Amino acid sequence: MTAPFLEPYTFKNGVTLKNRIMLAPMTNFASSDNGEVTEEELAYYRVRSGGVGTVITACANVTADGKGFHGEIGVDRDELVGSLSSLAKAIQNEGAKAILQIFHGGRMAPPELLPDNQTVSASAVAPLRDGAATPRELENEEIEHIIKAFGDATRRAIEAGFDGVEIHGANTYLLQQFFSPHSNRREDKWGGSLEKRMTFPLAVVDEVRKTAKDKGDSSFIVGYRISPEEMENPGITMEDTLAFVDRLVKEEIDYLHVSVQDFYAGSMRNKEDKASRVQLIQDRVGEQIPVIGVGSLHTPEDVEKAMSGGVPLVSLGRELIMEPKWVEKAANGKADQIRTDISVNDREELTVPAQLWQAIINTPGWFPVREHAKK
């Protein structure tokens, strides 16, 4: 019997994925300083694109002042279309659909990466972390410019041959900053009530959908990634998010991707609330839109259990870094050979970019890392 995650999946727009497993968007710090994709990065994606149905790339910044990481993919200039095309082809040639994640870092961007060293956000409120810079509040004209930049990024993704884009509305970046009552203290049309805090992310969705319709065809996929809650007070609550996903499903996007570290984790705001955030979103809107589950799923059994609650698609991040051939091994009866940890000496064998490898090895608790290779 075929495992459920190996079965094809067809979106409402008619596009069929060969299976239900996706490579989650994982920052790899491997692009050139000018945003061009490198050979090291292409190799990393190639080796992970043979088994999965879909690859969602690391985030790509839509404006120069939205760059969130060293070594980030750029989609902010037309001259990068050739570079982006090489990335789309590297993924598609191995048999997977290629989706470009597009984003703006907002107040989370490292100031040294920005043209004027000044972060921007919905309001001039610093993130709650040591030494964080206070952003400058965006003016109305700048907000409109960023919305258009998401549309331009979508056009470039289409010109580069990608199968879709994922709008990054999660992980405390700009779209989430506008939705959050912590980072958005505005009292104009872009903030104030819960409804008004939805205005900017919904305007971005509208611009991306419009561009996809005008410049692409009906097969172009548009997804949205969301973080269910925030730690901050005031901050995004699960009630806020359920109201937002109710609204998002009316926008004719193709999927909703929930961003959590652990599929089964309960509330980060209320320790008594143990319900899986992914499952809550699936139960709320899963009949209307495909929900992608993610978070600390390592074995085929883990993935099947996660899907048993109705989630039709699962993205694997850390697991596909540790085991690039996860799908192939699961499909060929070799599940017992799937790696669920790594040693400090495995980088070349796993085709992981040097900077990402350093982050993995030097961030305690992020990956299960052994000191020595298995004998």
Residues marked active site are found at 173
**Can the peptide bond before residue 228 be classed as cis, meaning omega within 30 degrees of 0?**
no
CA torsion sign, 137 to 142 to 144 to 147?
negative
Distances (CA, A) of 201 to 143, 155, 174, 208, 295: 11, 18, 9, 11, 24
Q: Which residue has the tokens 């999946």?
A: 9
Distance CA(237)–CA(240), nearest Å, equals 5
Task: Tell me the three-class secondary structure of the chain, residue by residue.
Answer: CCCHHHCCEECCCCCEECCCEEECCCCCCCCCCCCCCCHHHHHHHHHHCCCCCEEEEEEEECCHHHCCCCCCEECCCHHHHHHHHHHHHHHHCCCCEEEEEEECCHHHCCHHHCCCCCCEECCCCCCCCCCCCCCEECCHHHHHHHHHHHHHHHHHHHHCCCCEEEEEECCCCHHHHHHCCCCCCCCCCCCCCHHHHCHHHHHHHHHHHHHHHHHCCCCCEEEEEECCCCCCCCCCCHHHHHHHHHHHHHHCCCEEEECCCCCCCCCCCCCCCCCCHHHHHHHHHCCCCCEEEECCCCCHHHHHHHHCCCCCEEEECHHHHHCCCHHHHHHCCCHHHCCCCEECCCHHHHCCCHHHHHHHHHCCCCCCEECCCCC
CA dist., res. 309 & res. 304, Å (int): 9
User: Cα Rg for the chain, rounded, in angstroms?
Assistant: 20
